[in-house]
Amino acid sequence: MTKEFKTVAESIVTISELMLPSRSNFNGKIHGGYVLSLLDQIAFACASKHSGVYCVTASVDTVDFLNPIEIGELLTMKASVNFVGSSSMLVGIRVEAENIQTGEVKHCNSSYFTMVAKDNEGKSVKVPGLILKTEDDIRRFAKSIKRYDNKKKRRAEFHETDFVSEEHLHIVEGYNVKIER
């Protein structure tokens, strides 16, 4: 039987992986695409752990690459459900890299994924609510509401048909762009 509410702590997933040369780009840093793949995996695990069912990625709301990840560092990702709707969950992920020789830890990435719980037929299903116990839980939930509201405003503002080139030429003025017709 699925719980009606779960604590944030019940959804937490932590994954660590040593960064190997095979994961690097041409500059010798860990490839951002590989990190995105790991982020999607932990978001899935976290959302599925909270909901108790299969989950899909609905959107990648934010991915901020803050510091490069070096070959040989221990990458640790920590994910938790920060917000729940009826069938959706906003999963916050913090990525840190540790130099295993010096012990120095740096914050490399913060990300937010919207995940949706699905049944066996692919229909969205209700997820347990969140029990907020700590100040961090409350802060993250409140910030997630703000993110959700901003996302709705952005969607409402940017419909493809809303931008007719002649009427919106003033928007591109002052940017590094040249219009040729």
What pLDDT, on a 0 to 100 scale, did the predictor assign at position 175?
Answer: 87
- Neighbour tally for 119: CB within 10 Å: 11
Q: Are 80 and 46 in contact (CB under 8 A)?
A: yes
Average pLDDT over residues 59-84: 96
Whether 159 has a pLDDT exceeding 90, the answer reads: no
pLDDT band of residue 178 (cuts 50, 70, 90) is confident
Quick one: fold of 5-172? Thiol Ester Dehydrase; Chain A (3.10.129)
Q: In 3-state terms, what secondary structure has residue 175? A: coil
pLDDT tens, position by position, 76-121 = 999 999 999 999 999 999 999 999 999 999 999 999 999 999 999 9
Give the residue with greater pLDDT, 48 vs 161. Answer: 48
Task: Please give the radius of gyration of the chain, using alpha carbons only, rounded to the nearest integer.
Answer: 20
Give this prediction's pTM. Answer: 0.87
Whole-number Å distance between alpha carbons of 153 and 59? 16
pLDDT band of residue 152 (cuts 50, 70, 90) is confident
Whole-number Å distance between alpha carbons of 30 and 177? 32
What pLDDT, on a 0 to 100 scale, did the predictor assign at position 171?
Answer: 78
Cα→Cα distances 103→19, 72, 108, 129, 156, Å: 15, 12, 15, 38, 46
What pLDDT, on a 0 to 100 scale, did the predictor assign at position 161?
Answer: 61
- Mean pLDDT across the chain: 92
What pLDDT, on a 0 to 100 scale, did the predictor assign at position 176?
Answer: 87
What pLDDT, on a 0 to 100 scale, did the predictor assign at position 157?
Answer: 76
**Nearest Cα residue to 114 out of 144, 134, 136:** 144
| CA angle, 49 then 96 then 81, to 5° | 25
Phi-psi region of 103 (alpha: psi -120 to 50; beta: other; left: phi over 0): left
Whole-number Å distance between alpha carbons of 2 and 17? 31
Whether 27 has a pLDDT exceeding 80, the answer reads: yes
